[in-house]
């Protein structure tokens, strides 16, 4: 569903007012509930303490089982409980309980119906407040359920009971709920009145905002259609009037901006055409420079490859060359050379070991004459 601005303003203000009033109302409601609960608990605890002062544990200490209902002490205790019950219409039942270890049992009960608890009957629904009631006045912190219904109870120890006897009194849950229901109805009535007032206030406030906004909408439609020179004439005396003035000023600025825009568009068109020419020229120059660069790269690559080949050849040649250097000890007579281990070797053997030289033996002319002379042969 489409929500108009009027409805949005109405619902937003209504929601804000309802939330504020609801939070305040909730706070006071829960405060009243707490006060009422404290009041009920205080009345139950004080009533139980007051009733306990009228009882003495020694009067019914011997009442322990169902057969003790014929004892005069039991009848007196029940009559006293019923008389005390009638003094307070909020009290549903009055009863006396005994504690033996962890077990809690009835001693006397003011109930006049057939559901009356008999002496010695074990109470199965023991709550913490009940156990506390044997030592000091206590009260339930909530409504509890047992075999007789839903109640809120107060407890107090009986004098001379040595924390073994207590008197308890029950207030029916429907009476407690009736008090809370009355409080709840008052809170709901207050909330309903707050909602009605919030609706009236929100409706008037949204109407105040909508009229200027509709005028501004019409003006925006005029601006969109190209009518920039019209003006909105509306006086509200608040921020909406300032908004209307801003719209009028904006309309005038838009009219001036339109004329400037048209002049600017013409300038941009001329600049664009000139830029396209320059871009084409620059692209041509860059293409030529790129072609030159490609040629230079190819030439340098070829030169680099030639250098690398020459370097490889030189390295290969150097790898095949072994140099002899330093002083060689050589015999002055037989011309043998002494090696690093101290052995004397023939020149051919030494050079073969320390270089790639291979000797082919021959005889020079002078030696040839000498050999022939020693052999007694004529010179050739």
- Provide the domain count of the chain: 2
Asked if the model's pLDDT at residue 322 lies above 60, the reply is no
In the predicted model, what is the mean pLDDT of the chain? 78
Q: Is the pLDDT of residue 5 over 70?
A: no
Please tell me whether residue 149 adopts helix, strand or coil conformation.
strand
E strand spans, the chain: 93-100, 103-109, 138-139, 144-146, 149-157, 165-172, 337-338, 344-345
132 is a domain residue: yes
**Last residue in a domain, options 128, 163, 188:** 188
Residue 87 within any structural domain of the chain: yes
Coil, helix or strand for 368?
helix
Which of 104-118, 186-200, 205-219, 286-300 is least confident? 205-219
136 domain residue, yes or no: yes
Please report, for the domain that includes residue 61, its CATH number: 3.30.450.20
The answer to whether residue 293 is domain-embedded is: no
**Which of the listed residues 158, 188, 218 is the one where a domain comes to its end?**
188
Position 186 pLDDT exceeds 80: no
Rounded to whole angstroms, the Cα distance separating 125 from 79 reads: 25
Please identify, among 126, 156, 188, the residue that sits at the C-terminal boundary of a domain: 188
CA dihedral 87, 91, 96, 100 (to 10 degrees): -160
Half-sphere exposure of 41 (CA within 13 A, CB side): 14
Number of neighbouring beta carbons within 10 Å of residue 311: 10
The residue with tokens 């509306």 is 234
* pLDDT reported for residue 124: 83
Tokens found for residue 126: 């023991």
SS3 category, 154: strand
CA dist., res. 279 & res. 272, Å (int): 10
What is the model's pLDDT at position 75?
87
In terms of residue numbers, what domain contains 365? 337-375
DSSP structure class, residue 117: P
102-123: average pLDDT: 85
Strands 165-172 and 93-100 turn out to be: antiparallel
Place 356 in a pLDDT band, splitting at 50, 70 and 90. low
Query: In the predicted model, what is the mean pLDDT of residues 301-328?
Result: 73
pLDDT band at 157 (very low <50, low <70, confident <90, very high): very high
Residue 255 inside a domain? The answer is no
Q: What percent of the chain clears pLDDT 90, i.e. is strictly above it?
A: 1
pLDDT of residue 175: 63
Q: What is the pLDDT of residue 231?
A: 67
**From 118-132, 211-225, 289-303, the region with the lowest mean pLDDT:** 211-225
Whether 80 maps to a domain, the answer reads yes
CB neighbour list of residue 352: distance below 8 Å, 6 or more residues apart: 358, 359
Assess if residue 178 is contained within a domain. yes
SS3 265: helix
Report how many helices (DSSP H) and strands (DSSP E) the chain contains, helices first: 7, 8
pLDDT in tens, 25-80: 777 777 777 777 787 788 888 888 888 888 888 888 888 888 888 888 888 888 88
Within a domain: residue 259? Answer: no
Higher pLDDT, 165 or 362: 165
Provide the 3-class DSSP secondary structure of residue 156.
strand
CA distance 40 to 139: 10
- Residue whose C-alpha is closest to residue 169's, from 288, 79, 44, 62: 44
pLDDT at 281 over 70: yes
């Amino acid at each position: 569903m489409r929500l108009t601005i009027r409805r949005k303003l109405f619902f937003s203000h209504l929601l804000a007012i309802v939330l504020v009033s609801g939070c305040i109302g909730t706070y006071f409601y829960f405060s009243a509930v707490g006060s009422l609960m404290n009041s009920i608990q205080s009345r139950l605890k004080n009533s139980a303490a007051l009733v306990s002062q009228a009882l003495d544990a020694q009067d019914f200490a011997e009442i322990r089982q169902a057969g003790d209902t014929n004892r005069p002490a039991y009848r007196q205790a029940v009559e006293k409980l019923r008389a005390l019950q009638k003094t307070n219409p909020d009290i549903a039942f009055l009863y006396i309980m005994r504690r033996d270890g962890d077990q809690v049992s009835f001693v006397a009960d003011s109930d006049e119906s057939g559901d009356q608890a008999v002496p010695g009957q074990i109470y199965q629904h023991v709550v913490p407040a009940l156990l506390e009631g044997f030592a000091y006045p206590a009260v339930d912190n909530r409504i509890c359920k047992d075999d007789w219904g839903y109640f809120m109870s107060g407890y107090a120890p009986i004098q001379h009971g040595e924390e073994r006897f207590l008197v308890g009194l029950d207030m029916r849950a429907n009476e407690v709920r009736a008090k809370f229901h009355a409080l709840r109805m008052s809170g709901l009535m207050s909330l309903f009145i707050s909602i009605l007032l919030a609706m009236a206030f929100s409706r008037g406030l949204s109407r105040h905002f909508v009229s200027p906004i509709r005028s501004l909408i019409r003006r925006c439609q005029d601006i969109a259609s190209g009518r920039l020179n019209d003006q909105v004439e509306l006086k509200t005396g608040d921020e909406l009037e300032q908004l209307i003035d801003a719209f009028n000023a904006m309309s005038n600025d838009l009219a001036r901006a339109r004329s400037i825009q048209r002049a600017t568009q013409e300038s941009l068109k001329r600049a664009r055409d000139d830029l396209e020419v320059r871009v084409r020229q620059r692209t041509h120059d860059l293409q030529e420079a790129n072609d030159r660069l490609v040629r230079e790269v190819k030439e340098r690559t070829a030169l680099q490859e030639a250098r690398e080949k020459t370097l490889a050849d030189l390295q290969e040649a150097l790898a095949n060359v072994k140099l002899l250097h330093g002083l060689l000890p050589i015999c002055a007579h037989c011309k043998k050379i002494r090696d690093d281990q101290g052995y004397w070797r023939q020149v051919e053997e030494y050079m073969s070991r320390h270089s790639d030289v291979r000797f082919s033996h021959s005889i020079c002319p002078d030696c040839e004459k000498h050999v022939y002379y020693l052999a007694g042969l004529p010179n050739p």
